[in-house]
Structure 1
Amino acid sequence: MLNPVEALTDELLARAAVGDQAALEGVYRSLAPQVQGYLLTRGATDPEGLTSDVFLQVLPMVPRIAGGVSGLRKLVFTVAHARLVDEFRRHGRGPRQGPYDPALDDRHEPSAEHHVLEGSAGHVRQVLERLGEDQRAVVTLRVLADLSVAATAEVLGKSEGAVKQLQRRGLAALREILAEGEVVR
């Protein structure tokens, strides 16, 4: 059994490409938290479900991936971004969800979602929501997904220069937001 924090390496990817189940699990364990974090900070309503969808699509493609680990990361986040866009489109066409009414919730303990949204992930999301859509996409892909400028540009369909500018401006805006202390934790 693989250590859940084993680093994603070309050797692990090569073992996964020949169907080694432990290596496929290692690929999933290495990238799934980053994918889920990316989807959560981008506003996905079901980041766990979308993460599963991403890997259901990507894992069968592992034997055909070119570019080693960086090629895999680029593919995974390209698929994650596409699933997120699909979700936004689907929700844009679907019926509106009613607001949550705590009076109708008979649970005695706060939900897991409440703990997450009230914790650090909620704080991060609140800060990121102050950025423009393009800046938020670039910052989350560069920082959370650890993609290169070139890979981020490819995922978003933008030039590398545009990605660099969006990242520079996004990080500067985040510094200002955090320095102002306007976001309450």
Structure 2
Amino acid sequence: MGQGGEPRRAKERDGELGAAVERAQTGDEDAFAVAYRLVQPGLLGYLRGLVGDDAEDVAADAWLEIARDLGRFRGDGAGFRGWTATIARHRALDLLRRRRTRPQATALEQDLHDLPAAHNTAEQAMETLSTRRALDLIAGLPRDQGEAVLLRVVVGLDGPAAARVLGKRPGAVRTAAYRGLRRLARDLGGVTDEGPPTLGESR
């Protein structure tokens, strides 16, 4: 957001990320630094949407766990982004529990397989905003929608990967992301009657 197409760039870098993670698992500290540099911006944006100003502290705790358990990770670059997001989310939820604030459970179970893929109005609208402004807007969404949008648009995960992070059905996450982006685009005056926004991928 504010950087035009960050999710697409994240996916384009998945090959580089996967190679860096593989080298880091052999003890290559420079490769771990590369993986950190590729993942941290999206991860920090996600955490800011969950815990606000405590995001950097939560990210630091998450990276300690990531470094400790790196040898147990199995997967490619996209899988690593999902794995790190899962760890970061757990640390964020620990903090929220300590604050005695629990995330709202999603009530959305509708699948969006049959919705037409029209325009990317919502995603495009979000990409024109500064990160701070976008996170402020996302903070106003119901938590299930906000998390889905953060994972899809900020971290750059696809629907199934975001669903694994959240522990929900892919259809429920697609619904939450769609409704969140639709609401954001409406708030920004970017939704028309030409069809629902998409998330830049096939369903």
Aligned length: 151
Q: Report what 2:114 is aligned to.
A: none
Q: What are structure 2's unaligned runs of at least 5 residues? A: 1-12, 102-128, 191-203
Q: Aligned AA for 2:158?
A: S
Alignment deviations for residues 81-123 of structure 1 (CA, whole Å, 9 cap, x no partner): 1111111111128xxxxxxxxxxxxxxxxxxxxxxxxx93331
Q: Report what 2:29 is aligned to.
A: 21
Name the TM-score, length of structure 1 as normaliser: 0.75
Instruction: Indicate yes or no: 2:166 matched with 1:141.
Output: no
* Deviation, structure 1 residue 75: 1.1
Q: What are structure 1's unaligned runs of at least 5 residues? A: 94-118, 181-185
TM alignment of 1:135-174, pairs within 5 A: 135-174=145-184
Instruction: Indicate yes or no: 2:84 matched with 1:76.
Output: yes
Q: Is the 8 A contact 1:13 1:23 kept in 2?
A: yes
What CA RMSD, in Å, does the superposition of the two structures yield over aligned residues? Answer: 2.2
TM alignment of 1:1-185, pairs within 5 A: 8-92=16-100, 120-179=130-189
Q: Is the 8 A contact 1:44 1:84 kept in 2?
A: no
Q: Aligned AA for 1:130?
A: G
* Deviation, structure 1 residue 13: 1.5
**How far apart, in 2, do the equivalents of 1:163 and 1:41 lie?**
17
Q: Is the 8 A contact 2:152 2:158 kept in 1?
A: yes
Q: CA 1:169–1:6 in structure 2 vs 1: closer, same or farther (change >3 Å)?
A: closer
Q: CA 1:175–1:58 in structure 2 vs 1: closer, same or farther (change >3 Å)?
A: same
* Deviation, structure 1 residue 7: 7.2
Q: Is the 8 A contact 2:141 2:180 kept in 1?
A: yes
Name the TM-score, length of structure 2 as normaliser: 0.68
Q: Give the % identical residues.
A: 32
**How far apart, in 1, do the equivalents of 2:80 and 2:150 lie?**
17
**How far apart, in 2, do the equivalents of 1:165 and 1:138 lie?**
9
Q: Is the 8 A contact 2:14 2:78 kept in 1?
A: no
